[in-house]
C-alpha cells in the first residue's frame, strides 16, 4: 500500500504517519526528514539544501523528485510506504508515477498550525523553525501545495480529514477511509 499525507506544517502528518506505519506495518518516510539529514552533510548539495530550507524555500521540483524517488528505490519501500511532505507541487505530483493508493489531506487552520508549532520542541530547536521561515512555508503551502490537493481530488484518491480533532480520532478516521476505499 502506498499512501501520501498532505497538510500544512504542524497538521500532524508525522504523528499520523508513525501511527499508520505501526498499524499497517509499512515504513513512514518524511521528505522533510530526508532533507534535514542531507542538510547536515558537508557537501555542496548538503549546504544548498540547508541554505534553501533555512530561508523557508522549497527544494526545486526536479531535485526533490530525484531524491525522493531514489529513497523509495530502497528495498524497505518495495511493498509500500507512507509518504509525508511530498509531492508539494503539481509538477512533482504529475511526474511522480508510483501507484499511489490514497492521499489523506490533514486540514488545519493556519492559526492552529502556528499554535502547534509554537509549542513544539522536537530534537531541540530546528534552524529552519524561525517564525519567518514557518510563515514562508505556510504561504508556500497555500500557493503551491493546495493545488496538489485538487490534483489528487480529481484523480479520486483524496480523502479530507479534519486535522483539528484528537490524534486518536484522526487515526481512526484514516483507517476507516482506508478500509472503505479498499473494499
Q: pLDDT per residue over 78-99, tens digit each?
A: 999 999 989 989 999 999 978 8
Question: CA 56 from chain center: how many Å?
Answer: 15
In 10 A of CB 12, how many CB atoms?
23
pLDDT of residue 123: 47
Helices (H), the chain: 13-24, 31-39, 44-54, 61-72, 90-95, 110-118, 131-140, 146-155, 167-181
Close Cβ partners of 183 (under 8 Å, ≥ 6 residues apart): none
Close Cβ partners of 54 (under 8 Å, ≥ 6 residues apart): 127, 128, 133
Strands 81-84 and 28-30: parallel
Strand-pairing partners, residue 104, are: 5, 159
Do 60 and 110 meet the contact criterion of CB atoms below 8 Å apart? no
pLDDT averaged per 10 residues, the chain (length 183): 93 95 95 85 90 83 87 89 92 90 95 79 56 80 92 96 96 94 72
In 10 A of CB 102, how many CB atoms?
18
Q: Does domain 2-181 have CATH number 3.40.50.300?
A: yes
Cell digits for 140? 508556500
Q: Supply the pTM of this predicted model.
A: 0.84
* Distance in angstroms (rounded) separating the CA atoms of residues 101 and 156: 10
Domain residue extents for the chain: 2-181
- Strand, helix or coil for residue 158: strand
Comparing CA positions, the residue from 86, 40, 37, 41 lying closest to residue 65 is: 86
Amino acid at each position: 500500500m502506498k499512501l501520501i499525507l498532505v497538510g500544512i506544517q504542524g497538521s500532524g502528518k508525522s504523528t499520523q504517519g508513525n501511527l499508520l506505519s505501526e498499524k499497517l506495518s509499512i515504513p513512514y518516510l518524511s521528505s522533510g526528514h530526508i532533507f534535514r539529514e542531507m542538510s547536515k552533510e558537508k557537501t555542496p548539495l548538503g549546504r544548498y539544501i540547508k541554505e534553501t530550507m533555512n530561508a523557508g524555500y522549497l527544494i526545486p521540483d526536479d531535485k526533490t523528485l530525484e531524491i525522493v524517488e531514489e529513497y523509495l528505490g530502497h528495498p524497505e519501500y518495495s511493498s509500500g510506504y507512507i509518504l509525508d511532505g511530498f509531492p508539494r507541487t503539481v509538477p512533482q505530483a504529475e511526474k511522480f508515477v508510483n501507484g499511489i493508493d490514497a492521499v489523506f489531506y490533514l486540514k488545519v487552520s493556519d492559526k492552529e498550525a502556528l499554535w502547534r508549532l509554537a509549542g513544539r520542541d522536537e530534537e531541540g530547536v530546528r534552524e529552519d523553525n524561525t517564525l519567518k521561515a514557518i510563515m514562508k512555508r505556510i504561504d508556500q503551502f497555500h500557493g503551491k501545495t493546495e493545488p496538489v490537493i485538487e490534483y489528487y481530488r480529481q484523480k479520486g484518491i483524496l480523502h479530507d480529514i479534519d486535522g483539528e480533532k484528537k490524534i486518536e480520532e484522526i487515526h481512526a478516521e484514516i483507517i476507516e477511509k482506508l478500509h472503505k476505499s479498499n473494499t
